[in-house]
Amino acid sequence: MSNDTIIILMGVIGFLFFVIVVAYLLIRKKLQSSDVARIERLRKGTRENNFSSEVMYQKLYVRYLRLPFLRRYLLKLRRRLEIINIDDEYLTRLQASKIITKALAIIIPITILVILFTRSNFLIMFIILVFELFIIDSLVDGMVDKIDNNLLNQQIDFFAAMRHSYHETNMVGEAIYQTAQDDEHVEISRQAEKIYNILNSEDPETELEKYYDVAPNNYLKEFAGISYLTQEFGDRKVDGVSLYLKNLDNITQEMQLEILKRDKLNYTFQSLSIISIVPMIMLEPLKSWAVSNFGFTESFYNGKQGMIVQIVILLVTFICYILIRKLKDNGSVNIKLENNQNPWQAKLYSIKPVKKFVDLFIPKDGTAERRKIKKALKDAASKQKIEWLYVNRIVLTIVVFIASIIMFIALHQVQINYIYTEPTTDYDLIGSLEGKDLEKAMETTKIHNYFLDMFRGQLDTTIEDIKWEMERSTYYRDADDDVIQTNAEQILEKLQTINSEYLKWFEILMAMVFAIIGYAAPILVLKFQVIIRKMSMEDEVMQYQTIILMLMRLERADVEMILEWMERYADIFKEPISKCLNNYESGAWESLEDMKEEISFQPLIRIIESLQTAVEKVPIREAFDELDTDREYYQAKRKEANERLISKKGMIGRAIGFTPLVGIFVGYLVVPLVVIGLTSMTSSFNTMSAMNA
């Protein structure tokens, strides 16, 4: 890193420190205004008399809400936090403001570093700054996941306290109410209070259905459902143990397995996201190091070829980063709120001319292609409509085509700029120029640029035309014929390169190919999601087994109730279970048989066959007796399945995460150094041999 860069970096850090101090003083002054002072007087005696970070975050929330750029992220963030912080606007705003502030504290220094390292390359700077938008999304998601994981850990403590309260009161509602009076664990206390209010409402079944749609995780749904059934129909002893407490133990064991799985996934992927984006920041430093130490690579790194490799590496980095995010996703926070939203795709599709144009691409009803795409959407658990998918595809196609054309034009301009700024010598350069040699070479370049501007765009220019103008100029008035001949050849070579740097037909064709790839990209991402979700099939089926284990001993439980609970917690197999429930009244055994034909996953087929047995022959408890007797075996199998899932995801994640890093060292550093070095040395030896001859 050069001294100038260090000085600039220190200056920026000093400026940031100054801005932070000024901002702190302004915020503190603002907090001492009349309105805030009045609120503080009202709150006097309820807290310590010092600066409140909570008040600051509440103020920042209002500021962020007024900024158009941050408003989108803030509203998206609070939709997720509202699920965890039920009816607690203060806590939701506080957490949202904290997360946005932390994200800005991370992204602003990164942005400054990017600008410092890429200030000489505006195209790369623009691409990286756009890419940072995705990094912000990732940071925000990670912080929300941390809150949700904290909620799961709180639920473990909450259920342990619930056991003691239930032993004391022997009443579900009272036990929940007593346990909810915990000021230390705010998030789970809010959920417990909500469940208590539902159980004591006039229509608890309807309120429960509403809660199921917004519950942060399946375990709270199970807890709310089991609590309602126990309060409604009473508890009973099974093998001398309360059935309600036994079901709480089952839910607790499921949560413990889920927490372990999330911890291991976070440990596996905690560095992969960073590793996948490191090449984005390393491009310019590596380029500067290579050019300063190996001068013969300057024509590659500062020319069109180097720019192409940079763009390819950035695209690979972007793709790998998106895949890593989707691979790491553990579904920790329930964000299935798309039905209540009006995304930009829907707004765009509502415009009549756009709708007519998009409909031309959407497969017609009843066609195999439409069924195939709908199946992919269902298998990927995507909530977007097929119309939105095609809006994405068409918009991405147009954007990729336009971006490709702009990129090709920019690449031509990069090559032209390099020719105008490249030091000109009479020999092949192996090392780097310094001092007087560099000044002389740059002076020659300036003289050549004068003639390049004179003949630029004239495709029929000959060396004689250039020599004639050179002899008339003041630059070569006293030069001998050899000098004029050599410089004329160099100018002609540069001129031919400049005149050839324009948008060509095959580049437009390549832009069309890239646009076609862009059109296919949403479908490819959808298929990748399907592959990832298939890895979680076994985990979901084992959740069904836990649900059945909780319901099978209830006297009022039947096959339809089990299917309703399975549908409530279903993700991958939601569609066939819903279809089975819809057809259940017309024939229980037949609807189960139809569902069995739609499913190819053997463990779920065995559950369906047991449900068919419970419909016609034996009670549910006997049909699923092996789930209780082999509980320890299924628990061990569940742990082993989680280990296998994490191992598969980790293996795929490492392969994807290290791809950009390998690409930048091999494709951007090693190969250019070797190939260009050997080429330069060969050319130099040939020149020396010709001179000796």
**Which residue from 449, 459, 457, 481 is spatially nearest to 468, judged by alpha carbons?**
481
Q: pLDDT-based confidence at 96, cuts 50/70/90?
A: confident
Lowest pLDDT segment from 206-220, 280-294, 515-529: 280-294
Query: What is the reported pLDDT for 399?
Result: 92
Residues 304, 414: contact at Cβ < 8 Å? yes
Helix or strand (DSSP H, E) at 238:
strand 237-238
Lowest pLDDT segment from 260-264, 373-377, 629-633: 629-633
**Which residue from 157, 66, 146 is spatially nearest to 103, judged by alpha carbons?**
146
Query: What is the reported pLDDT for 395?
Result: 92
Query: What is the reported pLDDT for 307?
Result: 81
Residues 528, 410: contact at Cβ < 8 Å? no
Q: How far apart are CA 514 and CA 83, in angstroms?
A: 40
Tokens of 568: 């409530």
Q: How far apart are CA 114 and CA 638, in angstroms?
A: 45
Query: Please, what is the average pLDDT of the chain?
Result: 79
- In this structure, the number of other CB atoms found within 10 A of the CB of residue 575 comes to 17
Query: What is the reported pLDDT for 123?
Result: 64
Indicate if the pLDDT at residue 341 is higher than 60.
no
Q: How far apart are CA 571 and CA 680, in angstroms?
A: 60
Q: What mean pLDDT comes out for the span 136-145?
A: 77
Lowest pLDDT segment from 318-327, 579-588, 631-640, 678-687: 678-687
- pTM score: 0.69
Q: pLDDT-based confidence at 337, cuts 50/70/90?
A: very low
Helix or strand (DSSP H, E) at 241:
strand 241-242
Query: What is the reported pLDDT for 43?
Result: 53
Query: What is the reported pLDDT for 335?
Result: 43
Phi, psi dihedral angles at 650 (to 5 degrees): -65, -40
Indicate if the pLDDT at residue 179 is higher than 80.
yes
Query: What is the reported pLDDT for 332?
Result: 46
Q: Which of 56-65, 389-398, 649-658, 672-681 has the highest mean pLDDT?
A: 389-398
Q: What mean pLDDT comes out for the span 188-204?
A: 87
Using the CB atoms, write b or e for 252-263: b if 16+ within 10 Å: bebbebbeebbe
Q: What is the largest CA-CA distance in the chain?
A: 113
Q: pLDDT-based confidence at 46, cuts 50/70/90?
A: very low
Query: What is the reported pLDDT for 6?
Result: 59
pLDDT digits (tens, 9 = 90+) for 493-537: 888 888 888 888 888 999 999 999 989 988 988 888 787 777 777
Lowest pLDDT segment from 133-147, 269-283, 326-340, 436-450: 326-340
Half-sphere exposure of 54 (CA within 13 A, CB side): 7
Q: How far apart are CA 496 and CA 498, in angstroms?
A: 5
Query: What is the reported pLDDT for 34?
Result: 47
Q: Where are the domains of the chain?
A: 1-51, 52-270, 371-534
Q: pLDDT-based confidence at 49, cuts 50/70/90?
A: very low
**Which residue from 258, 275, 278 is spatially nearest to 145, judged by alpha carbons?**
258
Q: What mean pLDDT comes out for the span 655-674?
A: 84
Long-range contacts of 87-94 (CB under 8 A, 24+ apart): 87/190, 87/194, 88/186, 88/190, 90/58, 91/186, 91/190, 93/57, 93/58, 93/61, 94/54, 94/57, 94/58, 94/61
Indicate if the pLDDT at residue 577 is higher than 80.
yes
Query: What is the reported pLDDT for 150?
Result: 86
